[in-house]
Chains A and B, each alone.
Chain A
Amino acid sequence: MSPDLSCLVHWILFLPLVVAAFSAVVLRRAGTIAAWLSTATAFVIAYLAWIVLSQVPGDLVWHVKLANFGQMELGFGYLLNAHARLMLFVVSFVAAWIHLFSIGYMADDEAKGRFFAGLSIFMFSILGIVVADNLLMTFIFWELVGFSSYMLIAHYFDKDFAAAASKKAFITNRVGDLGFILGLAFCLQHFGTLNFADLAAHQPAGGWPIALGALLMCGFLGKSAQFPLHVWLTDAMAGPTPVSALIHAATMVAAGVYFMARIFFLMTPEVLEIIAISGASMAALGGLCALAQTDIKKSLAYSTLAHLGIMACALGLGHPELALLHMTMHAFFKATLFLGAGSVIHGCHHEQNMLQMGGLLKKMPITATAFIIATLSNCAVPFFAGWYSKDAIIEAAFHGHHYVAFGLLAIAALATCLYSARMVRLVFLGSAQSEAAEHAHESPWTMTVPLVILGVVFSLAAGFATSFLIPANATVSIAEPLHEMAFSFTAPATWVGLLSLLAGWAALKFYGIFPGKDSLQVFSPRTYHLLEHRWVDSFYEWYLHKVQRRAAEFIAFLDLLLINGVIGRWIAAGIPAVLGYFTGRTLHRGQTRGYALWIILGTLLLAWCFLAR
C-alpha cells in the first residue's frame, strides 16, 4: 500500500527492460559483459521481489490511468494478490538461477549479447503478466512474452529447423490469442471494464459468460500448449536449453495456468469441464508420447505438456490453488531437469540423442544427482516436491467424483514414471554408447550451482520445508493444500503413486535390456510408432494443404472472376468507357486546366445546391 513498495515494483518491472535495451544497443559485441549484466539484474530482481514479498503485508494495489477512449479506460497498474506473489517469487527466483546457468551454457556462443538481451526482455514481459491488474495490460505483456519466446527459440536462426520452430510457435500462439482478444472485446462489452478487481465484483450469469470464458481459455490453450494448440512446444526445443528451461518449462507456459487462476471467477462450470477433460487427456497423452522420443529435450517437452495438462485439470476441477501449487513445484523440478539436460548436452558436446548417451553418472556426478532428484520429484515420490502437488490433484479428482479425470491422471502418473525411468536409464546408467558420451565432462560452476540449488535443494525440499525456502507471504494461496498433504496408505492417489513407482522400477530394468536401442521399439515397433507419430501436426498439415489451400484457391478464383472480371473489367471500366465515348470530344482534352475548370463548376453547383435551399 505504501508508495515506496509500488516503487519497488516499478524497479522490478522496468529494470530488465532498461538492461535489455542497453545490451541490445551498446553491448552487442561485448557478449560476456552483457551476460553478467543480465544475470546480475536477474538476481537484483529476485532480491527486490524477496523484499516486496517480505515487506508487503497483504495485497499491493497501484493503478494509474493512462488515457480514456470513450467508455474504455487504458490503465496501467499492479495487483499483487496471493496468486501474483507466489508467481512473482517463482519467476524471479527460478529465472535468476537459469540466467547464471546460461552464462556457462552459452559461453562459446557468438551472439551472447542478443541472447541475454532476449532473456531480459522475457523477464520484463513475464513480470508484466504477473503484476498486471487488468486484462488489457495482461494481453500486451502476453504478446511481448510471445515475441521474446519467438526471438529466443530462433536464437540459432541460421538453422532452418530453429527458424521454422520459432515461426510455428509464434503462429500457434496467435491462434490462441485471437480467442483472447475476442474475449477482451466481449468482456468490455459485457462488463464495461477490464480491471480484475472490478470484474471480480460482477458475477457471470447467462449465455455470454460461457463464450467469454471459452474465448479467454483460448489464450491459455495457446500459451500453455494445451490440446489442440500444443504442437509448438516440442518444436520450440530448437532454442538453447536454458531458454527451454526458463520459458518452455518453468515460467511462460505456466503463465497460462497463472492467468487462468487469476481470472478463475470468470470461468463457468461448462468451461471448467472442458478444461478438466482436455487437461487430463493432455496429461496422459503427453506422458505416453514422451516414451517415444529419442531427443532428451523433446522427451522433457512432452513431460512438460503432461504436467501442464495436470495443472489444467486441477483448474478444471475447481482447484486453482492446487494448479498454482503444482505450477510452483513443477517450475523447480522441471527447470532442474532441463538444466540437467542442458548440462548433459553441454558435457557430451551437443549430443541430444539419449540413445547415444549412457553411463554419465560417474562422469557428471553433480548433474546426475540433481537430475535424478528432480526426476524423483517428477515421479511424485512421497515427500519430494512434486508429490505434494501431483498427488493432491489426483486426490482432488477422486474426491470430486470426476472419475474420468482420475483415470486419465492415473495413466499420466504411470507414464511419468515410465519415461522418467527410461530417461535416467538411458542417460546416466549403463555404459557409454558413443564417443561423445565417452569423453563427457562435468560442467563449470556457473552451471552446477543452479543445478544444486534448484535440483538438490528445491526439488527435494520445496514441499516439506516451504516455510524456510519461500517467503511466507508468497505461499498464502497454497498454504492450505500444502499442510493438508499427508501420507496415507488408504488414499487412492497413494496407491496410484506407489503402483506407478513400481512400474517405474520395472521400466528401469526393461530399458536396460538392449543397450544403445530403445527397448519398446525393439519389442513393439508399432506401439512406438503410434506414440512417436505427431497426429495433430499431420492433421494440421492435411487441413492446410487439402482444405484451406483449396478454399483459398477457390476464393482467389472468385476474386479473379467477379472482382477483376465482372466488376473491374465491365462495370468499373465499362461505365467510364461509355461516358468517355460520348464526352471524349468535349470534356477530355488531356489538359490539366480543363479538368480544374470542371471541378470548379461542379463545386459551385454543389455549393449552390446546398446553400440556396
Chain B
Amino acid sequence: MEHTTLAHHLLLAGLLFVIGLTGVLIRRNLLVVYMCLELMLTAATLALVAFSRFNHLMDGAVLVFFVITVAAAEVAVGLALIVALFRQRGTVQSDALNSLHD
C-alpha cells in the first residue's frame, strides 16, 4: 500500500461521515437515525486511526479504544431510551415525536 496516503483515508472517513449525517437528516425511524449516528462515530475513529498511523504515534489509536468503549455504553443506554419511548408512545417515528413544539 505504498500509494495510499493519509488523504485517501481521510477522504473515506469524511465521506462516511457525510453519508451518516445525511441519514440522520432524512430518516424518520429513530433506530435507523441512531445507526447513522454510530456510523458517524465510526468515521471519526477511522480518521483517528489514520492520523495515529501516519504520525507514528499510538495515542490516537488508544483514543479509538476509548471511543469504542464509550460508544458501546452509549448504544446500550440509547437503545434503552428508545425502548422506553416506544413503550410510552407506541412509535419510534421521529415525525410523531414533536411534543416539544407544543
Contact = CB atoms under 8 A, between A and B. Distances in A.
Interface residues of A, number: 9
Contacts of B99: 590
A593 B21 contact: no
- Counting chain B residues whose Cβ lies within 8 A of the other chain, the interface size class is 10 to 19
Chain B CB within 10 Å, residue with most, of A589, A596, A597, A600: A596
A591 B96 CA distance: 9
Chain A residues touching B, majority SS: helix
Contacts of B101: 588-591
Contacts of A592: 30, 33, 94, 97
A589 B25 contact: no
Interface string B69-102: 0000000000000000000000000110111111
B100 A590 contact: yes
Interface string B28-63: 001001000000000000000000000000000000
Nearest to B30: A592
A593 B94 contact: yes
Interface in A5-43: none
Interface string A582-603: 0000001111110011001000
A588 B100 CA distance: 8
B19 interface: no
B26 to A, nearest CB: 7
B24 interface: yes
Chain A CB within 10 Å, residue with most, of B26, B97, B101: B101
Contacts of B95: 591
B22 to A, nearest CB: 10
A593 B99 CA distance: 14
A596 B24 contact: yes
Chain A CB within 10 Å, residue with most, of B25, B26, B33: B25
B26 A600 contact: no
Contacts of B26: 593
A589 B25 CA distance: 14
Contacts of B21: 600
Given A590-B99, A591-B101, 18 more contacts: A588-B101, A589-B98, A589-B101, A590-B98, A590-B102, A591-B95, A591-B98, A592-B30, A592-B33, A592-B94, A592-B97, A593-B24, A593-B26, A593-B94, A596-B24, A596-B25, A597-B25, A600-B25
Nearest 8 pairs between A and B by C-beta? A590-B101, A590-B98, A592-B94, A590-B100, A593-B25, A596-B24, A591-B98, A596-B25
